[in-house]
Amino acid sequence: MKSKARHLLDNSTEAMLAAIEIYNKPSFEYRDETFAILALNAWELLLKARILQIDGNRLAAILEYERRRRADGSASQMLYRKQNRAGNSLTVGLFRAYDRLVNDYGDKIDPAIRANLEALSEIRDNAIHFFNRPVDMAIAVHEIATASVKNYVNSVRQWFGVDLARYRIFLMPLAFFAGPMTVEGINFNAQERQMLSYLANKRDVEGDEPDRDFNVALRVEVKLKRSKDPAGTPFTISNAPDAIAVTLDEEDIRERWPLDYDILNARLKKRYADFKVNAKYHSLRKALERDSRFCRERLLDPGNPKSAKKKFYSAAIVREFDSRYDRAKPEAGMGTESESLR
């Protein structure tokens, strides 16, 4: 049976594949907005899956809570699950999930990912009619979208050990689009000028180089040249035995041992009132590291066999410290029980 984290990850992947498929349609005038909507949906599900992975698939970790108004108008001390109009529990949104990962769980996420998601959100929220507009607008959207896909693929691989290469994910370069490279001059309205200025500021991030794992925007340049020159570099998609191997076992490893050192420390600080990163803690942790149920050393990047190794921990290791530290008092109304998806 799939875990809740893996269930969300699968849905997230399907949303991203749908976004890419629609963007790459031969003729689809609403491609930019549709891609932004579906890609942001994919990212939101991915971030929630990451929270569940780190927090032992505890559904309460991704729920929204609120204080209710008493009869006298004052706010309640207890927190209650926030519900939608149908009466179902609401989960956190995209940026709330991002902030929770970084602030509550100590997950290190490249700031370029957030900058890219903010730019993509601006494209969605403005809902400007990009079709039949000057080429500059289409290029700006393509650069943001391309970086978003690259960031997504790398995040899925690093967090869950899932290689999406089998889907051959890419956004069709603008160089493949039919049509003249020069167009009649069209004046931007005020909203479009603001939009281009905003995207330009997001793209011009210092140090945002294409060889990084994560980017705010990427420009794809395609040059095709037929050549019989033997010095040319051939390329092909191959299943040759000497190709870089990617094992599917890594998916299970990522799910069972999702916590790195910093995330483990962040969880323990949140769980215990008297926890400190000191000699006592290091001694306890190192003793538990010898048990494969709690710790496993693996490649930092499973797609790269030459990658450095790093220790990762299972969610089960957290409970092993209960007898040595005092539990912090849970915030009123916050769920702690194991819950299932509704």
Mean pLDDT of 294-307: 76
Closest CA to 250 of 158, 169, 317: 158
Q: Copy the structure tokens of residue 268.
A: 């323990």
Instruction: Report the distance separating Cα 154 and Cα 171, nearest Å.
Output: 15
Closest CA to 214 of 65, 128, 111: 111
Per-residue pLDDT at 304: 67
Instruction: Report the distance separating Cα 134 and Cα 146, nearest Å.
Output: 19
Amino acid found at 118: E
Instruction: Report the distance separating Cα 93 and Cα 119, nearest Å.
Output: 16
Q: Are 87 and 118 in contact (CB under 8 A)?
A: no
Beta-ladder partners of 21? none
- pTM given for the model: 0.67
Mean pLDDT of 130-147: 71
Query: Confidence class of residue 142 from pLDDT cuts 50, 70 and 90?
Result: confident
The answer to whether residue 279 scores a pLDDT higher than 60 is: yes
Instruction: Report the distance separating Cα 248 and Cα 254, nearest Å.
Output: 11
Mean pLDDT of 290-309: 79
> Comparing 169 with 130, which gets the higher pLDDT?
169
Helix (H, G, I), strand (E, B) or coil at 341: coil
Percentage above 90 pLDDT, the chain: 35
Mean pLDDT of 140-157: 89
Of 33-47, 197-211, 283-297, which range is least confident?
A: 197-211
Per-residue pLDDT at 80: 82
The residue extents of the domains of the chain are 4-203, 249-319
Per-residue pLDDT at 31: 81
How many other CB atoms sit within 10 Å of the CB of residue 76?
Answer: 13
Per-residue pLDDT at 195: 58
Say which DSSP state 165 is in: G
Q: Are 137 and 145 in contact (CB under 8 A)?
A: no
Residue with the two structure tokens 């990047």: 301
